[in-house]
């Protein structure tokens, strides 16, 4: 009888210790973050992605006990930053900013043994950029209809930093839909691309809305079409510019920016980061920044599941274009 009592006491003690241990583990999980979180910006300082990431990190940090600290890891179209983030622990203390470049890296196999869509988990997409297709002043092309008609008979040239990048695949997707022949001409930097456009060295200019509006306003380029389903409201320079969908072509590819963490990051950590991102997205400070960046034309925010679905759909689009253009077997 005494032995049975001792066994019962030991079992109760064991259960109590286990419960205490579980509470301590839960407390440790909810104690995140205990130190600053590194935000990997896989592009150079001063780029659109860098400007966005730093501003969003600043806003997020205002409601966090520990700050989100941006660090630039530029190179290879976002690949250097992705490789760096992949090499860190999956504890939530490394957050990676991502763009379509990372989906394209998967399509073209740039990560070798690493796969972006398999090795990282999405937190949220925050921004969605719209592309505008323009021509330099004094171009013989006066409208999108002109472009389609002329481009079926001769190659239309455009500039970019590297073949297989977002601009290249986007314009090739539009070319495939319209039957226009396009020719990619590589330049060493984004500034050289703009100089080539303004100097009339290439036929067309494909860029984000925020980068194009100033040139349109100054009469240096003429907008032909917006890659969107609806006309851009609130931007006078584009009130008369048709959209691709309006013209009968379902090509609405644009740039976007979001955040991911390494696969198997604890769920409570992901929930915390997502909650902070939602709060930052809804602040008046971010809404003002978003409007000034002209990235509020279409809804930017997507939660983890919708963000994942959107990236998978984009993978299929880029994969098809890459095969059609010979960038992928």
* DSSP tag of 184: E
User: Which pLDDT tens digit goes with each residue over 247-265?
Assistant: 999 999 999 999 999 999 9
User: Which pLDDT tens digit goes with each residue over 31-53?
Assistant: 999 999 999 999 999 999 999 99
**Is the residue at 249 inside a domain?**
no
- Residues 243 and 226: their CA atoms lie apart, in Å, by 5
Q: Tokens in use for 82?
A: 């992705």
The mean pLDDT of 124-148, rounded to a whole number, is 96
The answer to whether residues 156 and 197 belong to one domain is yes
For residue 300, pLDDT beyond 60: yes
How far apart are the two ends of the chain, measured CA to CA in Å?
A: 77
The answer to whether residues 140 and 59 belong to one domain is no
User: Which pLDDT tens digit goes with each residue over 61-97?
Assistant: 999 999 999 999 999 989 999 999 999 999 999 999 9
- Listed as own residue / partner, the contacts of 193-199 with beta carbons closer than 8 Å and 24 or more positions apart are 193/159, 193/160, 193/161, 196/159, 197/134, 197/136, 197/159, 197/221, 198/136, 199/136
The answer to whether residues 123 and 180 belong to one domain is no
**DSSP characters over 156-197:** EEEEESSTTSHHHHHHHHHHHHHT--EEEEE-SSHHHHHHHH
pTM to 2 decimals? 0.88
> What count of other Cβ atoms lies within 10 Å of the Cβ of residue 59?
19
Are the C-beta atoms of residues 90 and 267 closer than 8 Å to each other? no
User: Which pLDDT tens digit goes with each residue over 147-162?
Assistant: 999 999 999 999 988 7
Expressed as residue numbers, the domain containing 229 is: 131-238
175, 207, 238 - which closes a domain: 238
The CATH code of the domain that includes 160 is 3.40.190.10
User: Which pLDDT tens digit goes with each residue over 185-229?
Assistant: 988 888 899 999 999 999 999 999 999 999 999 999 999 999 999
For residue 289, pLDDT beyond 80: yes
pLDDT at 163: 85
Are the C-beta atoms of residues 105 and 114 closer than 8 Å to each other? no
For residue 126, pLDDT beyond 80: yes
Q: Minimal CA–CA distance to 119: which of 98, 141, 147?
A: 98
Confidence of residue 279 (pLDDT cuts 50, 70, 90): very high
pLDDT at 30: 65
Report the DSSP pairing between strands 68-72 and 37-41: parallel
Q: Minimal CA–CA distance to 92: which of 117, 120, 65?
A: 120
The answer to whether residues 99 and 172 belong to one domain is no
Provide the domain count of the chain.
2
What is the pLDDT of the chain when averaged over all its residues? 91
The CATH code of the domain that includes 268 is 3.40.190.150
Q: Minimal CA–CA distance to 35: which of 71, 67, 80, 76?
A: 67
Are the C-beta atoms of residues 108 and 277 closer than 8 Å to each other? no
């Amino acid at each position: 009888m005494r032995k049975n009592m001792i066994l019962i006491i030991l079992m109760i003690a064991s259960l109590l210790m286990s419960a205490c241990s579980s509470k301590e583990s839960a407390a440790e999980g909810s104690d995140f973050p205990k130190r600053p979180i590194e935000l990997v910006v896989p592009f150079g300082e001063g780029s659109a992605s860098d400007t966005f990431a730093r501003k969003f990190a600043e806003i997020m940090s205002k409601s966090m006990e520990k700050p989100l600290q941006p660090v630039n890891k530029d190179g290879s179209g976002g690949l250097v930053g992705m490789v760096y983030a992949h090499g860190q622990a999956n504890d939530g203390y490394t957050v990676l900013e991502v763009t379509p470049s990372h989906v394209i890296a998967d399509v073209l196999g740039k990560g070798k043994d690493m796969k972006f869509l398999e090795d990282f988990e999405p937190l949220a997409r925050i921004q969605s950029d719209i592309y505008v297709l323009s021509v330099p002043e004094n171009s013989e092309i006066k409208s999108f209809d002109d472009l389609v008609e002329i481009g079926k008979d001769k190659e239309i040239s455009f500039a970019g930093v590297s073949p297989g990048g977002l601009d290249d695949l986007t314009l090739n997707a539009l070319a495939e839909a319209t039957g226009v022949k396009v020719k990619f001409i590589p330049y060493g930097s984004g500034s050289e691309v703009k100089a080539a456009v303004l100097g009339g060295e290439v036929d067309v200019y494909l860029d984000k809305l925020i980068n194009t509006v100033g040139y349109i306003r100054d009469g240096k380029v003429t907008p032909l079409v917006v890659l969107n389903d609806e006309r851009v409201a609130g931007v006078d320079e584009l009130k008369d510019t048709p959209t691709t969908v309006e013209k009968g072509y379902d090509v609405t590819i644009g740039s976007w920016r979001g955040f991911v963490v390494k696969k198997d990051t604890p769920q409570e950590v992901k929930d915390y980061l997502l909650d902070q991102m939602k709060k930052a997205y809804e602040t008046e400070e971010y809404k003002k920044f978003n409007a000034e960046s002209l990235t509020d034309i279409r809804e930017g925010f997507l939660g983890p599941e919708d963000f994942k679905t959107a990236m998978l759909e984009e993978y299929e689009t880029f994969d098809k274009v890459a095969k059609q253009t010979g960038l992928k077997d």
